Structure 1
Amino acid sequence: MQRRTFLALIAAGGAIVGLDACTASAPRGTPAAVVTSPSPVSTAAAPVQTVPPISAPMHRLPVLDKVPIPAGVMTGLPGNQNLLAWTVDDGSNSEVIRLYTEFAKTSGTRLTFFLNGSYSGWTENAALLKPLVQSGQIQLGNHTWSHADLTSLSDTAAIAELQRNHDFIVETYGVDPRPYYRPPYGFRNARTDKLAASIGYTTPVLWYGTLSDSGLITEQQVTDFAAQWFLPEHIVIGHLNFLPVTNVFPALLDLITTRGLTTVTLDDVFSH
């Protein structure tokens, strides 16, 4: 699907997101997909191209003229500056949180984590992660406390999911994640948008491309999806749930470097 067509559909009110939106299989009511769901994991995965190990920070943030946050649902970045927003959700695996954080620290890659505070890894890795959050290299966004489908909850329960996660992020990391939140599964509507906005979460962040790794896939599949979606001005979604992605960080970094992309957080690009 061409980007222009995709954004036109979003503007018309269509919620077009990847099938892997924080679940290994599409849950009830999953919107139409922009990507193909990965094939089952093979025990004999194709070899992954190796690249030199990460040894020093490689990505330096250029001077950017920030722009106001656009109204409505966010699916991509503005302009034509070869920027990539690599966003990562959930956090069901504490080791994956740790390895992603160490990768960011070592390589200089800028990331946005949409976390669920109910996962213990966000507390277990707080000491490691907090300096990168405080410096702005890793930005935190709200993904609800327990990865709840907001559209299925009452008004009170939906607000409570976002508020509890907000309080956890502020108390644990000392930053305010507003106005960005990612509705689990990409499920949102006018009612949930209004509820989120009532507590300051005015910008639902979806994506235009996915690593399709909310469930377990192979290392080769991760790199193939990255090759498909790591493109200028894309917001790409990954997940902090399974180890294969952590084994191909050098290959993903090589792809970013080869394509001349600069990783950015949302706060690097937008003013609020």
Structure 2
Amino acid sequence: MAVLAAAGCTGQVDERRAGAARQQVALKKKAVPKPLPPRRMDCAAVKCLALTFDDGPGEYTARVLDDLRKAGARATFYMLGQNVGSHPDVVRRMPLEGHEVANHSWSHADMTGLSSGAVRSEVRRTQEAIKRASGVAPTSFRPPYGSTDARVGKAVGMPQILWSVDSLDWLHRNVRKNVRAGVSEPEKGGVVLFHDIHKPTVTAVPEILAGLKKRGFTLVTVTELFQGQRLDPGGRYTELGEKGPTVAQ
């Protein structure tokens, strides 16, 4: 009887342990964070602006994410596929904090100088890299140098998002000029181009965010900006409210 009782107690302990283990697994599954969905925005009424950052991810991108989080702002990151593998945690963080991941080609080649097959390869490889790192597949493309045409647009197969304000941060690498361009030049419904690979740009971000907030802007992702407007695959867009897609010839 004593042996049977001991065996019974052991079985109960094992069952409790198994139950606890199952509960821990369930809790871990529930705790897996999910990307924040786009907010419902009426950018025809709200003073919306989309900040976009190209050519990353890089060594400074996490700082940009930190500053955006502190400001309660969202942005869109047009990333190079060849850079994604070096910063997977940063890319994963983007959609979890409400930012949009987007495609800027694999190698930053001029798409008009590539064959249609090569364009498709650049896009596809980048889609796969970003999806693998973030769990989210991009829905828009930005051609390097803004260089595109009808053939490229057809090969890309996604809306092509350009910009209404080019900060020229890649050229002057100057914090004060970045702030001036980022705060003074944008208009409602605009898309602003920066590069998160340049330290002076990243240094300017907190002041840019504060200045835009003071001007009354709500900082949104590209998808949030255009959610009330149809975007055609291959179409080229620079700001909200365009009468239709502009396709370079």
Find out whether 1:147 has 2:112 as its counterpart. no
Find out whether 1:186 has 2:163 as its counterpart. no
Aligned counterpart in structure 2 of residue 134 of structure 1, from 96, 100, 106: 96
In the alignment, which residue of structure 1 is the partner of 2:218? 262
Mapped to 2, the partners of 1:194 and 1:113 lie a distance apart of: 22
Mapped to 1, the partners of 2:180 and 2:112 lie a distance apart of: 32
Find out whether 1:195 has 2:159 as its counterpart. no
Amino acid in structure 2 at the alignment position of 1:204: Q
Find out whether 1:125 has 2:94 as its counterpart. no
Alignment of 1:158-237 (within 5 A): 158-178=119-139, 180-197=140-157, 201=158, 203-237=159-193
Asked if the contact 1:83/1:264 (under 8 Å) is kept, the reply is yes
Mapped to 2, the partners of 1:63 and 1:189 lie a distance apart of: 32
Mapped to 1, the partners of 2:41 and 2:211 lie a distance apart of: 22
Structure with greater Cα Rg: 2
C-alpha spacing 1:129/1:195, structure 2 compared with 1 (3 Å): closer
SS at match of 1:248: helix
Mapped to 2, the partners of 1:266 and 1:166 lie a distance apart of: 17
C-alpha spacing 1:140/1:117, structure 2 compared with 1 (3 Å): same
In the alignment, which residue of structure 2 is the partner of 1:247? 203
List gaps (5 residues or longer) in structure 1. 1-60, 66-77
Mapped to 1, the partners of 2:61 and 2:206 lie a distance apart of: 17
Moved runs in structure 1, 4+ residues, more than 3 A? 122-125
Aligned length: 191
Asked if the contact 1:143/1:181 (under 8 Å) is kept, the reply is yes
Asked if the contact 1:216/1:242 (under 8 Å) is kept, the reply is no
In the alignment, which residue of structure 2 is the partner of 1:115? 79
Mapped to 2, the partners of 1:144 and 1:194 lie a distance apart of: 15
SS at match of 2:211: helix
C-alpha spacing 1:103/1:153, structure 2 compared with 1 (3 Å): same
Aligned counterpart in structure 1 of residue 68 of structure 2, from 104, 116, 137: 104
Mapped to 2, the partners of 1:153 and 1:63 lie a distance apart of: 38
What are the Cα deviations for residues 172-211 of structure 1, in whole angstroms up to 9, with x where unaligned? Answer: 1110102x100110011110011111xxx2x010110022
Amino acid in structure 2 at the alignment position of 1:113: F
Root-mean-square deviation (Å): 2.1
Amino acid in structure 2 at the alignment position of 1:112: T
Q: 1:131 offset after TM fit, Å?
A: 3.4
SS at match of 2:169: coil
Point out which structure has higher relative CO (alpha carbons under 8 A, 6+ apart).
Answer: 1
In the alignment, which residue of structure 2 is the partner of 1:15? none
Which structure is higher in helix share? 2
What are the Cα deviations for residues 24-48 of structure 1, in whole angstroms up to 9, with x where unaligned? Answer: xxxxxxxxxxxxxxxxxxxxxxxxx
Mapped to 2, the partners of 1:221 and 1:174 lie a distance apart of: 36
List gaps (5 residues or longer) in structure 2. 1-37, 231-249
